[in-house]
Structure 1
Amino acid sequence: MRILGIETSCDETGVAVYDKYQGLLAHQTYAQNILHADYGGVIPELAARDHIVKIIPLILSVLDQANSSPKDINGIAYTAGPGLVGALLVGATTAKALAYAWKVPAIDINHMEAHLLSPMLEKTPINFPFIALLISGGHTQLVLARDLGKYEILGESTDDAVGEVFDKIAVLLGIKYPGGALLSKMAQQGVSGRYIFPRPMIDRPGLSFSFSGLKTFVARTILSSFYNAQNYADIARAFEDAIVDTLVIKCRRALDQTGLKSLVISGGVSANCVLRSNLLKMMRIRDGKLFYPRIEFCTDNGAMIAYVGCIRLQVGLINRDLSILVRPKWSLEELPKIR
């Protein structure tokens, strides 16, 4: 069984081919960072137009890289949501057209489930149940994954997601969008403790997040501070420390409440080295295990879509209807159960 995966939920065009027996055969991702850099964020219309230009050449290139032709493909998995509606429609229409032409089923995939399961692309096996911290784009969620397709959202951000806050603070520090990774590099030069920022919502019970207050606090500190490289590095360090501490505390709380020993982190912010290091320390102390995808699979990619498509095709969760439906908002709790 061989699946073509297509990801176009936001500003990355991702395509991959996954084989049930041989694993991932090929994948490529085109990021639109340069396109959106001057605007300080993703412009939905520009994102959709760029997907249109890039998607077919990427599909052809990945098929060639995987030494596959249309007759080798047994299904086409595509991101149906959540995401930007225009971007989602590009992937959905392409997938449906190819599925019709190649006489194979189309499989609509939830983008967040794909992130949640992306560490399973690695060789280390992950057993259910586990806690997942999903920190991708506009999402910050703690999820109890009981089994494939059986997910319970334990807590999520009530306002800005972690990734959004990283990018917004980066802009104020003079870093072009997307600035999250560059902000982390700046923070490495910072002096710990020179600035102390709040750890939001850790003084109250529950697993929800809120980062807009922290964003405002840091923004005011930047605007009221004199500029020099060290000063900005110190602010970046304090900001990153506040974010990481908050995420670690919430993860620890989720593990305590459920009694579980396995933690998955995925999504773009899961590539943050400080977060990974602190969570690894916590899990070692708890005699637990931390799982995460390799860096190239932290951001949006076609490999995770193809992988989940393979799982869902095996149990017959496919869509032979040629109508095109995308879901800009789509909760993990609404997914049909796999088993």
Structure 2
Amino acid sequence: MSRPTDTRARTREVAQRWLGQGRLPHEVTVDLVRQEIQQGSRTTINEELRAWRLEVSRSATLALPALPPPLGQAIQALWVQAVDLSRSELTQEREALAMSREQWQAERDQARQACTVMEQRLRDLEAGQQTLQESLQSAETALAHERQERRLLQDRLEASRQQRDAERQQALDREQALTQFHQQALEAHQRQTQTRESEYRAEVSRITERMESVQRHVLRQLEESREQLRKWEQQTQLLQRELDKTRQQAEDMRREASAQQAQAQARHEVQQNSLKEEARRWRDQAVAAEAARQAAQEALAGHLNKPASAPPNPARQTCRDRAARRRERLSRPAQAHGETA
């Protein structure tokens, strides 16, 4: 890639060479310079050309003969304005020329496209014309064939018309015969219908009378059924009241039985408690009797161990007798209590 300094230097060289060849400074354009040097940007080339034109204008001003300073400055300013004006006019002309060139190229492209389209349409039209000619020939052939078929169809149509007229006449004759037959059949049917209608009316009258009698019988049965239903309802109400009364009595009996059962349970508990108390008392007495028996046995054993020469003690014998009687007396209530339990 070229450097900006190279681009500026080459721009000045090309511009100076063209100036030496007789071109004016404003004729040296950016496009010409860039086309010549083939490098750099248009902005860099344009800036360098402006600086070069300014230097050229200054050097041209310095080359003029010696003039008064005010006149020289005025001429130099006029020259700069003339150069700028010519440059702007040249730029406008160049832009207009570029626009015209682009427009001409666009019109040329459009014309080419239109020409291509027209050629394609022409080829399509030629192909369509060929197809139409072939279709025309086919249509002419088909038309001749259809004309021939039309003549055949006309002949068939004429024959069909004649046959239709003959069949129409036959149909008219048949229709007249059928109409006459239908009229006769209708009259016979009307007579038969009148006879059947009379019989039907008589039958309807008989059926109506029977239905009325059946209806009266059904109404009587319905009334009897309603009366029987009312009686059954009354009996049902009586039975319901008796059933309610029986239920109330059963409930009273159940409550009474419950009360009696509670009383019996209470009495049973009282009896059990009294029996337990009596048994406890008898048990205490039995314990006391057992203690007396043991004492008597000990006394008896002591008496038996004494010498035989000793006479029996009446007091001790009496004590033993009393102990025996007491044991017997105590054993009797215990046996009676066991049997009762």
Give your verdict on TM over 0.5.
no
**TM superposition score normalised by structure 2:** 0.15
Q: Whose helix fraction is larger, Structure 1's or Structure 2's?
A: 2
**TM superposition score normalised by structure 1:** 0.15
Q: Whose strand fraction is larger, Structure 1's or Structure 2's?
A: 1
